[in-house]
Amino acid sequence: SRYHGFRGLKLPWRDFLLALLKDQPHSVVVKKPARKQGTPGNPFVAQKFFEYTEQVQPSAIGRRLMIVRESVASEMQEDMRLIAQENERILEDYKLNSLRSSNTTNEKSRSSVSDILCDHDPAFNSNTPFRGGTFDLLSSMSTYFAVRICAAESPSQREKEWLESFISDKGDRFMNDAVPRYYTGRKFLKLLMESPPILFTQSSNLRRDPEAFSTSSFVAVE
């Protein structure tokens, strides 16, 4: 299956690129089946193979990766502007779903801005393939760091502990990319907003409102 995550490399990215740039050319022997003589599918005719040698230039691969890396970074810089639009769409969906629950209507929620502008394998003109998948990873990582920032800057220790517990319980998919998953950040925010308010009755009598926390996370994402 196609990989979709942040931890595909087994070493830091800088070390990976430097290793490619410093590596010497490699000779690779390619073995391919030759065309069978006689009747096709005849089990009594042994399959023959032919071989040839190709030169692999790791330094050239590294230079190409750096060029693609610049293109992806440029696209990500443009697509970061979509995060604010995605925030608005998530809030609209939340309000619409709340009304639907109270009015028992069958109105469908609106699609995400990433569905409309940046599908996983976009057909529109872009410099690199899989731009939509890159945007999805960008959105998820922005959400992850936003939640961490909100927890670190929380004015209440009880609130911080609650959010840390929620991240531990519901946020495992941010870093566990063994199985390709899409819309991780959006689904996490949806769970956070749909969580019921929690009342802390000891000392500060603080009321924890997950929806308000989600709104502050949106600001941190932007």
For residue 36, the Cα-to-chain-centroid distance in whole angstroms is: 46
| 3, containing H or E segment | none
Residue 145 burial (10 A CB sphere; 0-12, 13-18, 19+): middle
Q: How far apart are CA 93 and CA 218, in angstroms?
A: 14
Residue 51: per-residue pLDDT: 92
- DSSP E strands in the chain: the ranges are 26-33, 49-56, 198-199, 207-208
Q: How far apart are CA 57 and CA 106, in angstroms?
A: 58
Q: How far apart are CA 65 and CA 23, in angstroms?
A: 15
Residue 16: per-residue pLDDT: 94
Q: For the chain, which ranges sit under pLDDT 70?
A: 1, 36-41, 101-127, 200-222
Tokens of 68: 């693609």
Instruction: Give per-residue burial for 147-158: e unless 16+ CB within 10 Å, then b.
Output: bbebbeebeeee
Residue 121: per-residue pLDDT: 46
Residue 125: per-residue pLDDT: 53
The type of residue at 81 is: R
- The reply to whether the predicted model has a pTM over 0.85 is no
Q: How far apart are CA 118 and CA 89, in angstroms?
A: 14
Neighbours of 196 (CB within 10 A): 7
Indicate the pairing of strand 49-56 with strand 198-199.
Answer: unpaired
Please, are residues 139 and 185 in contact by the beta-carbon 8 Å criterion?
Answer: yes
Residue 201: per-residue pLDDT: 64
Please state the φ and ψ torsions of residue 80, each to the nearest 5 degrees: -60, -30
Please state the φ and ψ torsions of residue 32, each to the nearest 5 degrees: -130, 150
